[in-house]
Amino acid sequence: MISFKINDQEVEAREGWTVLETAKEYGIRIPTLCYHEAVSTSGACRLCVVEVKEGNWSKVVISCMYPVREGLNVFTDSERVKNVRRWILEMLLAQCPASGEIKKLAAEYGVTATRFGLKNKEEECLLCGLCVKVCREVVGVSAITTIGRGVHKTIGAPYGKPAEACVACGSCVTVCPTGAMRTRLDRVRGGDHHKPLAAPHV
Ligand code: SF4
Ligand code: FES
């Protein structure tokens, strides 16, 4: 076991655990958007930042990808962390201004406006890739993919055609942190309203 501290509280983690996994084990809340224990980690949203202190240095890191080490002291809610998190939430508000979930989360940190230019007023998706990964890694059908590059990148069915592979399990809707997949699923399935969603299983 590896011993270190979170918010000055002694904690123990198994070899290979991340700071986020350890915090979850101890019921310490760190906000996340692109993390889900059922799929591989991408570090796409950066909202899970924490401050790590060791000896006389400290830095802000992404907790879902940061492996624990003996002797660390991690702060999940320091002033530095809150500032970085507010900055990230402003970026997310610009990226997906139509997402009620993102607005609600931002408001928790007192962020109600953004200094960044809005990408698209109707956009809800933050391109976290959770829907793509759950479809590929858990359901095993790859009915959803990222399409295009850079500012044109979006989420949809492969080649922009109705995804025959979609089994309508609803897992993508369940894991989506912004609500974007609720309105996208019909597009992925080709507007097949006769194929009901099965109970989500993630
Ligand atoms: S639709 Fe949802 S889960 Fe998929 S990339 Fe966008 S925000 Fe993430
Ligand atoms: S939850 Fe860690 S980067 Fe998104």
* Residue 194 forms part of a structural domain: no
Residue ranges with strand state E in 67-180: 73-75, 145-147, 154-156
Tell whether 1 and 68 lie within a shared domain. yes
* Residue 163 forms part of a structural domain: yes
What is the value of pTM for the model shown? 0.89
Instruction: Give the pLDDT band (50/70/90) at residue 202.
Output: low
| Domain count along the chain | 2
> What CA–CA distances, in Å, run from 42 to 46, 109, 195?
10, 24, 31
The per-residue pLDDT for range 145-165, each reduced to its tens digit, is 998 888 888 898 888 777 888
Q: Which atom of ligand 1 has the smallest separation from the CA of 130?
A: 3
Q: Closest-lying ligand to the alpha carbon of 131?
A: 1
Q: From 65, 94, 123, give the residue that closes a domain.
A: 123
Whether ligand 1 lies within 6 angstroms of the CB of 170 is answered as: no
Instruction: Determine the structural domain holding residue 34 and report its residue range.
Output: 1-123
* Residue 196 forms part of a structural domain: no
**184-198: buried (b, 16+ CB within 10 Å) or exposed (e) per residue?**
bbeebbeeeeeeeee
Q: Which atom of ligand 2 has the smallest separation from the CA of 128?
A: 4
CATH number for the domain spanning 76: value is 3.10.20.740
Tell whether 54 and 142 lie within a shared domain. no
Tell whether 169 and 85 lie within a shared domain. no
Tell whether 55 and 137 lie within a shared domain. no
What tokens does 33 get?
């958007």
More confident: 156 or 99: 99
* Residue 158 forms part of a structural domain: yes
Whether ligand 2 lies within 6 angstroms of the CB of 75 is answered as: no
Cα-to-centroid distance, 36 and ligand 2 (Å): 9
